[in-house]
Amino acid sequence: IERDALLRKKHGIHISGHNVPSPLKDFSELSSRYGCKSYLLRNLAEFGYKEPTPIQRQAISVLLSGRECFACAPTGSGKTLAFLCPILMKLKHGSKDGIRAVIICPTRELAAQTTRECKKLAKGKKFYIKLMTKELARSGNFEKMPCDILVSTPLRIRFSMRKKKLDLSRVEYLVLDESDKLFELGFMRQIDSVVKACSNPSIIRSLFSATLPDSVEELARTIMHDAVRIIVGRKNS
């Protein structure tokens, strides 16, 4: 416990919530503590990532322990890997049983970039990772198309839910990335309907952001259970 506190202090990690899992000391703990497969460690090494960033140290262990979290860390601090890595580890491998993870990004560019990163991180392992393009939203048949991880903007996933009766009832991981932007851009109604459609009782939701305004904090508190709050640096920098 004391060791955890020291490690958090060293990396400027602030937490609230009870029984918060220990932060990662290094990437090798992904395998020693959580049974991470070799393809993923290989990809991290290939990217040249030597050490987890502060937000990765804490958010990865929280999500791998099955806890929900809302996390605030500056732009450029590695939040994408903080949610992609636990999702790939928990899903283990591709399946054809429907959508198991949904990542919502505020813009199409960010959604495309997140999809690319996810595919790079999954290299060497069969996963079905899909970006919700305009065409997919309009005419994609998700009942026939294997999709483990779906990355979308709020408008496109909402459109597809209406038009194609997108089934989100098996989703195990829901990520709201850049949630401060999702709020600023006025996507709350869409987010709300996605959250409701993800009806799997054992879902793990997480929320990532560069700032943590009261609106985002309130959203986190209404949709999550027993969530861990993680702040790296300052809350509104």
Report the residue from 8, 57, 67, 79 that binds Mg ion according to the rule CB under 5 A: 79
How many C-beta neighbours within 10 Å does residue 222 have?
A: 9
- Binds 49, which of Mg ion, ligand ADP, none (CB < 5 to 8 A, cut-off by type)? ligand ADP
Q: Is 80 in the site for ligand ADP (CB under 6 A)?
A: yes
Total chain residues near Mg ion (CB under 5 A): 1
Residues 104 and 157: beta-carbon distance below 8 Å:
yes
* 13 vs 166, beta carbon nearer Mg ion: 13
Distance CA 173, CA 157 (A): 15
* 55 vs 166, beta carbon nearer ligand ADP: 55
- Binds 53, which of ligand ADP, Mg ion, none (CB < 5 to 8 A, cut-off by type)? ligand ADP
Q: Is 53 in the site for ligand ADP (CB under 6 A)?
A: yes
Options 75-83, 99-107, 161-169, 213-221: segment touching ligand ADP (CB under 6 A):
75-83
- Binds 76, which of ligand ADP, Mg ion, none (CB < 5 to 8 A, cut-off by type)? ligand ADP
Site residues for ligand ADP, 32-51, by CB under 6 A, read 49
Q: Is 146 in the site for ligand ADP (CB under 6 A)?
A: no
The nearest distance, CB 50 to ligand ADP, in angstroms, is 6
Q: Which residues 6+ apart lie within 8 Å of 226 measured at CB?
A: 17, 18, 67, 68
Bridge partners, residue 129, by sequence: 149
The Cα-based distances of 62 to 17, 78, 112, 196 in angstroms read: 11, 16, 26, 23
Report the residue from 59, 81, 191, 220 that binds ligand ADP according to the rule CB under 6 A: 81
Positive or negative torsion for Cα 143, 179, 208, 47: positive
Q: Which residues 6+ apart lie within 8 Å of 86 measured at CB?
A: 59, 60, 63, 64, 173
